């Protein structure tokens, strides 16, 4: 299992509820849905959307508009069940005729559990539209995003029409009191996951949490992993005074230990590369496994954390760089380092920063702090005759030969 589970989000949106009197009209159109990095290939399907809005109104009114999916573009995949209250859709309705622009409608994060291959179920997407001109206002469904939140992170699939969309609702707007405002936006919570698509996150406005997006990273581990590793990595940030606490999220992962491993055997770390206004790297690291790991037992690496203190003012990008796993088989033994260089990477997060005294801006690293807790334990997965060490679902995934193909296990047993 990996971030490929997010390809499941190929549906439309939920149940429409609007004020009465209202009228509804359907539109059937083809869409192309693109999952997040590492979530698989784009998928095309056909969806039927029902747009509900008042049949008549007057200038100056603010009316309720809703989007219901009569037929989703696809079902859930066969990879993973979707938990209860995990799905949040966001849609954009094209406003034409007597109005002009785009209306954003947002649904609640509310759904029943969705089994593998079952039809997607999503909540009402609602928004309010301010009417400013007399005439017929057309409402046509367009692109939409679907965000699913698992215990290990939130992932967004983006869907957009592949051709002309015909149909939708029409409001007959009569002259009345002057509106004076432009077409309104959503009133039900805003974007499904603002940081997931990598948008700029400003440091002001009271915002403290800045979620990153999963980016596909190609790691070159030399002879350790022939062919290297391609996997998504996600960097999240939380503002802490003038600095940012960074977290490279891991997940319930998959590895069958090639032998019994003692407590403290596996400790991950990573360099986060700064770009844009700032430069250098920030080191994040995670705690080693707190408990011994039996032979063939499933494990995953811990979350990696550290602190970024800006040295420059401006827009700063954060990208995954080198991953290192330290393997220590006995207390006091010299750790064996498994370095994996990021041969290709991408920006997971962008921050608007303000320079701090003693901040970065050079090639020196900021030492990362660690968090408490052990390694998550879930199922394992065969790859090339051995079980691979993995960070799963929007994190680093060590597939194929994995890091343990290089390790001199017999010598390590002797060390123990």
CA atoms of 123 and 155, how far apart (whole Å): 17
Distance CA 72, CA 49 (A): 8
- How far, in Å, CA of 99 to CA of 63, rounded? 13
pLDDT at 368: 39
Residues 246, 273 contacting (CB under 8 angstroms): no
Kindly provide the residue ranges of all beta strands, DSSP E only, lying in 152-289, ordered along the sequence.
153-161, 169-174, 209-210, 215-220, 229-233, 235-240, 243-248, 266-276, 281-285
User: Which burial class, exposed, middle or buried, applies to 183 when counting CB atoms under 10 A from its CB (0-12, 13-18, 19+)?
Assistant: buried
Give the whole-angstrom CA distance, residue 69 versus residue 26: 9
Instruction: Please give the Cα distance from 400 to 382 (Å, whole number).
Output: 8
| Lookup result for tokens 């939140």 | 149
Q: Residue 181: name the closest of 106, 128, 125, 138 by CA.
A: 128
pLDDT at 390: 36
Check: CB of residue 255 under 8 Å from CB of residue 266.
Answer: no
Domains annotated on the chain, with CATH:
3-174 (2.60.40.2270), 209-415 (no CATH)
Backbone angles phi, psi at 8, to 5 degrees: -60, -15
CA distance linking residue 269 with residue 306, whole number of Å: 10
- Within 10 angstroms of residue 87's Cβ, the number of other Cβ atoms is 29
For the CA atoms of 32, 344, 299, 4, the dihedral, rounded to the nearest 10 degrees, stands at: 10
> Between β-strands 235-240 and 365-366, what pairing exists: parallel, antiparallel or unpaired?
unpaired
Q: How far apart are CA 218 and CA 213, in angstroms?
A: 16
Cβ 79 vs Cβ 142: under 8 Å: no
pLDDT value of residue 99: 60
Question: Over its length of 416 residues, how does the chain's per-residue pLDDT go in tens digits?
Answer: 333 322 323 333 322 233 335 788 899 999 998 887 656 678 889 999 999 999 999 998 999 999 998 888 888 877 788 999 999 999 999 998 766 688 999 999 999 999 988 888 888 899 999 998 899 999 999 999 988 888 777 888 899 999 999 888 999 999 864 333 333 333 333 333 433 334 333 344 467 899 998 878 787 877 655 666 677 788 999 999 989 999 987 655 545 566 788 888 888 898 999 999 999 999 999 998 888 888 877 767 778 899 999 999 999 999 989 988 788 888 878 888 878 888 888 899 999 999 998 887 533 334 333 333 333 222 333 332 223 343 332 333 333 333 333 333 333 334 33
Residue 208 near residue 168, CB atoms below 8 Å = no
Given a contact cutoff of 8 angstroms between Cβ atoms, the answer to whether 328 and 267 are in contact is yes
Cα-based distances in Å from 181 to 59, 135, 384? 10, 16, 62
| Interior angle at CA 28, CA 121 and CA 74, nearest 5 | 35
Burial class (CB in 10 A: 0-12, 13-18, 19+), 81: middle
- 215 CB neighbour count, 10 Å cutoff: 23
């Amino acid at each position: 299992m990996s971030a490929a589970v997010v390809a499941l989000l190929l549906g439309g949106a939920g149940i429409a509820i609007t004020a009465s009197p209202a009228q509804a009209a359907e539109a059937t159109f083809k869409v192309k849905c693109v999952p997040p990095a590492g979530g698989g290939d784009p998928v095309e399907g056909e969806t039927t959307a029902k747009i509900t809005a008042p049949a008549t109104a007057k200038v100056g009114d603010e009316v309720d508009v809703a989007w219901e999916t009569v037929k989703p573009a696809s079902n859930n995949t066969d990879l993973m069940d979707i938990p209860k209250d995990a799905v949040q859709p966001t849609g954009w309705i094209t406003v034409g005729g007597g109005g002009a622009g785009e209306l954003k409608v947002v649904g609640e994060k509310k759904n029943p559990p969705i089994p593998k291959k079952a039809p997607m179920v999503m909540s009402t997407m609602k928004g309010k539209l301010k009417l400013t001109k007399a005439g017929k206002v057309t409402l046509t469904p367009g692109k939409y995003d679907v965000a699913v939140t698992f215990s290990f992170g939130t992932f967004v699939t983006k869907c957009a029409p592949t051709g002309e969309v015909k149909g939708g609702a029409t409001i007959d707007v009569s002259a009345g009191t002057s509106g004076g405002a432009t077409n309104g936006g959503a009133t039900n919570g805003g974007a499904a996951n603002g940081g997931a698509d990598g948008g700029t996150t400003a440091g002001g406005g009271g915002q403290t949490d800045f979620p990153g997006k999963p980016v596909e990273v190609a790691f070159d581990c030399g002879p350790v992993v022939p062919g290297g590793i391609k996997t998504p990595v996600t960097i999240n940030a939380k503002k802490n005074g003038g600095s940012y606490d960074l977290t490279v999220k891991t997940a319930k992962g998959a590895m069958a230990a090639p032998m019994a491993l003692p407590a403290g055997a596996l400790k991950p770390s990573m360099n986060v590369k700064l770009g844009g206004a700032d430069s250098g790297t920030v080191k994040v690291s995670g705690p080693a496994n707190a408990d011994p790991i039996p032979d063939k037992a499933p494990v995953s690496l811990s979350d990696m954390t550290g602190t970024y203190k800006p040295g420059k003012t401006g827009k700063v990008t954060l990208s995954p760089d080198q991953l290192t796993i330290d393997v220590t088989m006995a207390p006091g033994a010299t750790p064996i380092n498994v370095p994996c260089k990021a041969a290709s990477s991408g920006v997971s997060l962008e921050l608007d920063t303000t320079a701090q005294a003693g901040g970065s801006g050079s090639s020196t690293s900021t030492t990362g702090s660690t968090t408490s807790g052990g390694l998550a334990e879930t199922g394992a997965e065969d790859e090339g005759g051995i079980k691979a060490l993995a960070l799963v679902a929007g994190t680093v995934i060590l597939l194929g030969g994995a890091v343990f193909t290089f390790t001199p296990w017999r010598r390590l047993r002797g060390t123990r």
